[in-house]
Amino acid sequence: MAKSLNADQYVAIEWLSLPNKGGKSYDEIAQICGVHVNTIGNWRKDAAFDRELKRAIVRNNSDRLPELVASLTEIAIRDGNAAMAKLALQVNDMLTDKVEVETKGDVTTDVDALKERIAALKKDSGENAVNNVQH
């Protein structure tokens, strides 16, 4: 069963998920929650707390996401930033790190046949190079 968070943790999450922590310090957030500041630090290390904090950050900032995506392209072009260009393409599903290969029918690999084919290609390319030099 997943660990559930208490009310104080949800209050802390709401403050921590705001830009600049809603203008509050960790001490102030701890005071609002009625806990020691070290408790906030310990909560931040908890996986369930961290997951919920990330969800809250997304909820609080989802309306600015289009602006963020648009800025990726601007930064990539203005600064010639290849990393930003790559990220902009990935965000728009135009570039992936994953390659999928689909095979049709019964595909078996005959290593010996491949080696013979490679040797034949090398021989052919060597003969073509000699012919090109002679002409």
71-122 pLDDT, tens digit per residue, is 888 888 999 989 888 888 887 778 877 777 777 766 677 888 889 989 999 8
- State whether the Cα torsion 55-61-64-70 is positive or negative: negative
Distance between CA 45 and CA 43 in Å, rounded?
A: 5
117: in domain? no
Whether 21 is in a domain gets the answer: yes
Residue 100 placed within a domain: no
- The count of domains in the chain is 1
Task: Please check whether residue 52 lies inside any domain of the structure.
Answer: yes
Q: Which residue has the tokens 């104080």?
A: 8
**Domain assignment of residue 41, yes or no:** yes
Q: Return the ∠ at Cα 39 (arms to 37 and 42), rounded to 5°.
A: 120
Confidence grade of residue 35 (pLDDT, cut at 50, 70, 90): very high
Q: What is the pTM of this model?
A: 0.54
Q: Is residue 107 part of a domain?
A: no
Distance CA 44, CA 13 (A): 9
Give the residue numbers spanning the domain of 28.
Answer: 7-62
Q: Could you tell me if residue 129 is inside a domain?
A: no
DSSP-derived secondary structure for 72-92: HHHHHHHHT-HHHHHHHHHHT
Domain-located, residue 39? yes
Query: If you compute the radius of gyration of the chain from its CA atoms, what whole number of angstroms results?
Result: 29
